[in-house]
A and B are shown apart, each in its own frame.
Chain A
Amino acid sequence: MQLARVIGTVVATVKSPGLEGVKLLVIQPLDRQLQPAGGQLVAADAVHMAGPGELVYFVAAREAAQAMPDPFVPVDHAIVGIVDAVATLDGATP
């Protein structure tokens, strides 16, 4: 799992069966200092509460679909939690 910032939403009317009602968000993966790292991704929102601007963590690969109500859906990145705080040895980062 990695940290990411939600930076937008994706609206799609025509979707693969099983993806109806699934919220899709654009996320920017972050490094440990919370700086952008790598390309942006579209992730399914498995917590139903994430929104733009929020710090989240996401899971990639097959396990992303496991986070959805129906685990047999074409999802390869899913937001599985909203971060309250990241406490590191260097000092806490809100």
Chain B
Amino acid sequence: MKIGRVVGTVVSTINVPAFDGRTLLLCDLLDPAGKPAGGYVIAVDSVGAGAGETVLLLDEGNSARQVLVAPGAPIRTVVVGIVDAVDEGPAMVVLGTMEAPLAATARVGRARPKAPAAARPNTPAAKRATTPAAARPARPRRRR
């Protein structure tokens, strides 16, 4: 596998059917120290990586098809992970850019959706939802 940095996306409407609904990420290849190693690759996303993030690239067809559960697809390169740090010898190299922490936060936000009102019984919204209107105390009318 290789380490890369997502630098953009490739948009395409006319493509082989195997690519329908898939996100293509333009990734610069990096060396383990996080410096550009020269070259780039267009990879299919499988983890929800975003621009600016350091990612793990899988560059082998059979594994790529297994990861994407796409037998017979002409896909060789897949983003299979988001790299936080690379421990190379004595020093740990923390990778990522300004965008990476923001994107990571957004992902966590999506992964843990807010529980429905009924699941949080002590909030006013849940009380309104579970108490019939007639049983609710009348709201004090404000005097002019």
Contact = CB atoms under 8 A, between A and B. Distances in A.
Interface of A: 1-3, 31-32, 46-47, 49, 57, 59-67, 71, 78, 80-90
B75 A63 contact: yes
B75 A57 contact: no
A41 B11 CA distance: 23
A9 to B, nearest CB: 18
Contact of B61 (A32, A63, A81): A63
Contact of A81 (B19, B26, B51, B64): B19
Interface stretch (B40-48, B88-96, B121-129): B40-48
B15 interface: yes
User: Is chain A's binding surface mostly helix, strand, loop or mixed?
Assistant: mixed
B8 interface: yes
Interface of B: 7-16, 18-19, 24, 26, 28, 40-43, 51-52, 61, 64, 72-77, 99
Given A1-B77, A61-B61, A64-B74, A89 B52 contact: yes
A32 B36 CA distance: 13
B14 A49 contact: yes
A85 B31 CA distance: 27
A6 to B, nearest CB: 13
Contacts of A47: 14-16
Given A47-B16, A57-B42, A89 B76 contact: no
Nearest to A67: B74
Contact of B14 (A31, A81, A86): A81
A71 B72 contact: yes
